[in-house]
Structure 1
Amino acid sequence: MAEQTQIDLGPDPSLLLVDDDEIFVNRLSRAMERRGFRPQVTLNVADAIAAAKRSPAAYAVVDLRLEDGSGLDVVEALREARPDARIIVLTGYGAIATAVAAVKMGATDYLSKPADANDIVSALLQTGELLPPPPENPMSADRVKWEHIQRVYEQCDRNVSETARRLHMHRRTLQRILAKRSPK
């Protein structure tokens, strides 16, 4: 495994991580801790807003869609509590409208899942108007499509007909896609 180097995070390396995917957020927390951050993990909007008010972090990574509401509420609460916070909105639903809303609410940047710790650190520490460099190993378009279909399928409680309806696909086409392995 590659050794992680400490990054100059300034006097306050506090980091609020908000995601309802407990496995993902705990893995991200460990990765960020190795990079010098002091992470605090929350799994829902209510706990994240309470944490933002109690001790606002200098950095935050917030999932857009949480089980109990929108991550934009967390962005707003953190921005009120700490105007200089660097906030990244992370989501599996990359859409221009939500990206614009996130930035208007005070997010520093917007990343689509799956993003690794290096992508997140790069976005958190990016300064100026320049775009961060592209990821080293971005997902293929086929993989992005497959991930999206899998997410909608899970949200529809693995109901193929409902998933096909929501994705505007023929049910048999969806069944063939679901039967295949994930693309690289």
Structure 2
Amino acid sequence: MLMTSADLIHSSKYPAITRRTAVLIADPEVSPASPLVERLIGEGLDVCLSDKADAARRHLRERTASFAIVELVFDDGDGIDLVRDIANSYPRCRTLVHSRFCNLANAVQAIKLGASDVLPKPTDIDFLIGVLLNKDLRQPTFRSSFPAPDSIRHEHIRTIYMSCGANVARAARQLSMHRRTLQRILQRTLLL
């Protein structure tokens, strides 16, 4: 049964009578047909969607939530205030800020107000659910969610090298590194 914002979404697999753990998703971009909602229902959780901050606050007054996923920007309010309200209402609720507007200042403020974690959008759904449910993220499936720092560095070097017309001396000047160092890096990554 699908309902509008701040109403519970039940999966047909699980009867609505059983008491299950509830997840509040306060995000204007998440719809009932979203893969995130489907995966959370598949995990055996009740999902409540709110596309407005006021609807999320109404849900907090009417029902309990063990988990929350919160966007920072709403048409009718601020997600930071919502994080504070969740922490005040349910101190044991694991709140995850998942937003396009993540920066260091927002992340620090959200953590200080009670968020458990802060993740920027887009984030792999498996990784997001793993962080939310506090699963072991050392599994190989989670490790592949983010590129290794060396691969990002090598990709940047390759991009600069190619933009300089494959000229090692010009690329080394552009990257502020010694020409021989750049040659060794390029030989190691099989670009030369």
Q: Same fold (TM over 0.5)?
A: yes
Larger Rg: 2
Distance 1:25 1:83 in 2: 29
Query: Deviation of residue 24 (structure 1)?
Result: 8.1
Q: Which runs of no fewer than 5 residues in structure 2 stay unpaired?
A: 1-18, 153-192
**Matched-pair identity in %:** 25
1:1-184 matches, cutoff 5 A: 12-23=20-31, 26-126=34-134, 132-133=137-138, 135-138=143-146
Query: Deviation of residue 41 (structure 1)?
Result: 0.6
Change (3 A) 1:104 1:68: same
Change (3 A) 1:25 1:77: farther
Query: Deviation of residue 29 (structure 1)?
Result: 1.2
Distance 1:132 1:52 in 2: 29
Q: Which amino acid aligns with 2:75?
A: E
What's the counterpart of residue 183 of structure 2?
none
> What TM-score comes out, normalization by structure 1 length?
0.61
Q: Which amino acid aligns with 2:131?
A: A
- The answer to whether the 8 Å contact 1:17/1:25 transfers is no
Query: Deviation of residue 135 (structure 1)?
Result: 4.9
Partner deviation per Cα, 1:126-160 (whole Å, 9 max, x = no partner): 38xxx95565233797xxxxxxxxxxxxxxxxxxx
Partner deviation per Cα, 1:142-180 (whole Å, 9 max, x = no partner): xxxxxxxxxxxxxxxxxxxxxxxxxxxxxxxxxxxxxxx
Counterpart of 1:107 in 2: which secondary structure?
coil
Query: Deviation of residue 22 (structure 1)?
Result: 3.8
Q: Which runs of no fewer than 5 residues in structure 1 stay unpaired?
A: 1-10, 142-184
Distance 2:67 2:33 in 1: 15
Change (3 A) 1:83 1:105: same
Query: Deviation of residue 45 (structure 1)?
Result: 0.3
Distance 1:100 1:60 in 2: 18
Query: Deviation of residue 12 (structure 1)?
Result: 4.7
Q: Which amino acid aligns with 1:79?
A: A
- The answer to whether the 8 Å contact 2:32/2:49 transfers is no
Moved more, 16-25 or 43-52: 16-25
- The answer to whether the 8 Å contact 1:53/1:77 transfers is no
